């Protein structure tokens, strides 16, 4: 057979024979007639059509198959989400809140306090935005001699127990006592035993039902852009003149303590009184959070176990530097901070803190200004390693790194390797912590509890998480110099 002959299927016929028919056992559409060489015996050769031709590929997508596929996609997504686990309902912690002594209705007629509720409180935001607001609102209630009404940490108001976040189910509501303890969450105030304890929104609804007369104060005429101390004084004046037992703040005109307040140094005028108030002196993480920290004690190598589980211990975890490396949504957020001309969070501008953010040299150079923001907000692995190296020179005893991060575990491998090459003993991160199903949804508080006890904390100056960690560390008497920024 000559070179023009292709092997697939061949059939020889006499010279006098007419055109050969396609074998009966196959469809004619599957074969193509090939021309043989003139010098070769007359041969009719059939080549089978390739089954993966583009026409056959198109025929696969029938309307029925497309409809079935479209129908199954959400089903598979739902199964993938459910397979990651059903969130807990925290019923035991809700029962704990219901049984707090101040929630006894028998005590109300004899010693009924006035209640202060903020119906327009933050929801659907990150935990630290909610926490800083709750601390300030409970502080205002305390200095006004009122009982603060605390709320669930709320992610969604849909009539469902769960919502979807990052392709996983998360609780729509988490009781505040799953995250924190202390006066803001209805705990006792040893430093102010005569102050009224906070009550839950559920109890408030029982005492101050729809028929109850509520005194509502609008934020419309409040000095919302004033210095922090001026704001608090104005609100105290408004609240002390109220006679009704149920007081609510209407924040539809303006949020009392909004993001601009926390992102501005005018909050610092409250620093001395706030840090000496029960909101911070008696603040503690929840037992659920402390249990998670204790469960992972081997990762932190404490000199004494008490350093971990004692909520009020002022002793730090020697040799440990906690690094807050914010990723994820900060890829978009950091460039926006440059466009807005943002500074560090207000608490992070405290005079005792050694690291400052100064964008003034780059006012007329947009490119250099953006680079300056990214260096401090979205640093590279090399920049992080260099920053920690400089801090270790100031604190030679540092040898271990704990990274608080929303980054994927595999993305931190490069940083881990670089730090080990730079002489650090080991690096552990949020992804290494072992958590049960209830602790998983309060993991951000677990991270903060660890960072609060580290010998040195290195934060992101633009972050509310870093700001809250700095506030809690300094309120416990830890040196301002031990709080650094990227």
- Assigned domain for 199 exists: yes
Distance CA 436, CA 415 (A): 27
Do 201 and 223 share a structural domain?
Answer: yes
- Assigned domain for 5 exists: no
Do 149 and 45 share a structural domain?
Answer: no
Do 358 and 456 share a structural domain?
Answer: yes
- Tens digits of residue pLDDT in 335-360: 999 999 999 999 999 999 999 999 99
Do 360 and 247 share a structural domain?
Answer: no
Torsion of CA 209, 211, 212, 218, to 10 degrees: 90
Distance CA 18, CA 96 (A): 96
Q: Looking at 347-462, list the stretches that DSSP marks H as alpha helix, in order from N- to C-terminal side.
A: 366-377, 381-394, 413-421, 437-440, 443-453
Domain count, the chain: 3
- Assigned domain for 436 exists: yes
- Assigned domain for 476 exists: yes
Where residue 86 falls among pLDDT bands split at 50, 70, 90?
confident
- Assigned domain for 70 exists: no
Collapsing DSSP states into helix, strand and coil, what is residue 200?
Answer: strand
Do 248 and 313 share a structural domain?
Answer: no
Distance CA 11, CA 23 (A): 10
Q: Looking at 147-286, list the stretches that DSSP marks H as alpha helix, in order from N- to C-terminal side.
A: 201-207, 228-240, 259-262, 271-275, 278-281
Structure tokens of 467?
């700001």
Torsion of CA 125, 131, 132, 134, to 10 degrees: 110
Question: Closest Cα to residue 349, out of 462, 457, 458, 273?
Answer: 462
Residue 448 has pLDDT above 90, yes or no: yes
Where residue 15 falls among pLDDT bands split at 50, 70, 90?
very low
Do 98 and 34 share a structural domain?
Answer: no
Question: Closest Cα to residue 404, out of 481, 345, 320, 474?
Answer: 320
- Tens digits of residue pLDDT in 90-118: 999 999 999 999 998 876 555 678 999 99
- Assigned domain for 148 exists: yes
Do 449 and 420 share a structural domain?
Answer: yes
Do 240 and 109 share a structural domain?
Answer: yes
Residue 306: the pLDDT is 73
Residue 404 has pLDDT above 60, yes or no: yes
- Assigned domain for 67 exists: no
- Assigned domain for 127 exists: yes
What is the Rg, in whole angstroms, of the alpha carbon atoms belonging to the chain? 33
Residue 108: the pLDDT is 59
Domain final position from 262, 280, 298: 280
- Enclosing domain of residue 228: 81-280
Distance CA 196, CA 144 (A): 10
CATH number at residue 386: 3.40.50.11350
Structure tokens of 180?
């924190």
The DSSP-derived string for 269-305 is GGHHHHHTSHHHHT-EE-HHHHHHHHHTHHHH--SST
């Amino acid at each position: 057979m000559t070179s023009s002959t292709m092997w697939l299927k061949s059939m020889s016929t006499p010279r006098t024979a007419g055109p050969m028919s396609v074998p009966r056992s196959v469809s004619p559409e599957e074969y193509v007639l090939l021309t043989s060489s003139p010098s070769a015996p007359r041969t009719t050769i059939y080549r089978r059509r390739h089954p993966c031709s583009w026409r056959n590929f198109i025929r696969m997508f029938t309307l029925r198959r497309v409809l079935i596929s479209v129908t199954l996609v959400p089903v598979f997504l739902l199964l993938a989400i459910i397979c990651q686990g059903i969130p807990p309902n925290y019923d035991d912690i809700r029962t704990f809140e219901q049984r707090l002594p101040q929630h006894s209705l028998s005590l109300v007629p004899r010693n009924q306090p006035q209640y202060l509720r903020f119906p327009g409180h933050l929801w659907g935001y990150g935990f630290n935005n909610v926490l800083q607001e709750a601390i300030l609102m409970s502080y205002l209630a305390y200095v006004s001699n009122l009982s603060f009404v605390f709320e669930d940490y709320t992610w969604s108001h849909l009539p469902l127990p769960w919502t979807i976040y990052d392709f996983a189910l998360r609780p729509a509501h988490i009781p505040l006592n799953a995250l924190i303890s202390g006066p803001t969450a209805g705990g006792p105030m040893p430093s102010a035993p005569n102050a009224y304890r906070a009550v839950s929104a559920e109890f408030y609804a029982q005492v101050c039902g729809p028929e109850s007369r509520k005194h509502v104060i609008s934020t419309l005429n409040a000095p919302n852009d004033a210095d922090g101390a001026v704001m608090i004084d104005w609100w105290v004046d408004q609240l002390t003149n109220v006679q009704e037992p149920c007081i609510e703040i209407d924040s539809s005109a303006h949020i009392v303590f909004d993001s601009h307040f926390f992102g501005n140094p005018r909050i610092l005028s409250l620093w001395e009184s706030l840090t000496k108030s029960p909101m911070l002196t008696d603040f503690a993480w929840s037992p659920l959070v402390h249990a998670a920290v204790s469960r992972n004690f081997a990762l932190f190598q404490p000199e004494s176990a008490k350093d971990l589980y004692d909520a009020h211990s002022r002793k730090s975890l020697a040799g440990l530097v906690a690094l807050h490396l914010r990723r994820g949504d900060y890829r978009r957020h950091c460039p926006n901070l440059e466009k807005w001309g943002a500074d560090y969070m207000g608490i992070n501008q405290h005079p005792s803190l050694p690291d400052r953010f100064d964008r003034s040299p780059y006012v007329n150079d947009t490119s250099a200004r953006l680079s300056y923001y990214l260096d401090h907000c979205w640093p590279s692995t090399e920049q992080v390693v260099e920053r920690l190296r400089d801090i270790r020179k100031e604190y030679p005893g540092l040898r271990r790194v704990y990274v608080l991060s929303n980054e994927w575990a595999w993305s931190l491998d490069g940083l881990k390797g670089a730090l080990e090459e730079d002489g650090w003993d080991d690096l552990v991160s949020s992804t290494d912590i072992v958590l049960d199903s209830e602790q998983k949804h309060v993991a951000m508080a677990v991270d903060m509890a660890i960072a609060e006890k580290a010998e040195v904390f290195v934060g992101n100056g633009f972050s509310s998480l870093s700001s809250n960690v700095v506030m809690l560390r300094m309120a416990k008497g830890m040196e301002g110099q031990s709080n650094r920024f990227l």
